[in-house]
Structure 1
Amino acid sequence: MKGGWVYIMTNMARGTLYVGVTSDIARRTWEHREGVVDGFTKQYALKRLVYVERHEEIVDAIQREKRLKHWPRAWKIDLIRSANPLWDDLYDTLLG
């Protein structure tokens, strides 16, 4: 798979947000949930996947991630709410 994913993790609805990019969304989300990689998401216990966005090319996903990271927090919250109004954990939808 040559494409990529932009995703947002949180610890609770309207909690701390983390924007990331990966070529393997299921593996990367599992890593965040299990805390196997040290860093921001482990420090703040960000285990809930609340937003995912697929891109055909990884370079497009990387570019989108960089843009989202510079967005104001309110815009990120609006983006999440537009796709996932209840802030459900989307991890199980990746496995189906």
Structure 2
Amino acid sequence: METKIFYTYILSNKGHTVLYIGFTGNLKQRLKKHINPSSKGFTLKYNVTKLVWFETTQYVNNAIQREKQIKKWNREWKENLINDKNPDWNDLSWMIE
């Protein structure tokens, strides 16, 4: 039986002025939806398409809790989280299978 992986992730725009925090069970598919939004919303309005941070877990509840936790953080804490693993804020979408 294959183990399911859940992702908590942060997207940003090119200027790094906006951060979007989310969770999903299929990050590759979710990124496609962010890059090609089918409806008017946050992603389209702010052009938030650059994956700058993510982490994985086997448990959906952990991913949900982590998303909620990070959303409560101030901007500096979120930036520190990103800078710890991705100091140049490169697009990490190439790492997703």
Q: One fold, TM greater than 0.5?
A: yes
Matches within 5 A, 1:1-96: 2-95=4-97
Change (3 A) 1:58 1:25: same
User: After the TM superposition, which of the residue ranges 26-35 and 65-74 deviates more from structure 2?
Assistant: 26-35
Distance in structure 1 (CA, Å) of the matches to 2:4 and 2:41: 26
Q: Which amino acid aligns with 2:70?
A: L
Distance in structure 1 (CA, Å) of the matches to 2:7 and 2:69: 14
Distance in structure 2 (CA, Å) of the matches to 1:55 and 1:88: 22
Distance in structure 1 (CA, Å) of the matches to 2:15 and 2:52: 9
TM-score by length of 2: 0.89
Q: Which amino acid aligns with 2:42?
A: F
CA RMSD, aligned part only? 1.4
Structure with max Cα Rg? 2
Which residues of structure 1 form unaligned runs of 5+? none
CA shift digits 1:52-84 (9 cap, x unpaired): 110110111001000000001100000001010
TM-score by length of 1: 0.90
Which residues of structure 2 form unaligned runs of 5+? none
| Contact preservation (8 Å) 1:31, 1:37 | no
Q: Sequence identity, in percent?
A: 37
* TM-superposed deviation, 1:46: 0.3
Total equivalences in the alignment: 95
Change (3 A) 1:13 1:86: farther
Q: Which amino acid aligns with 1:88?
A: N
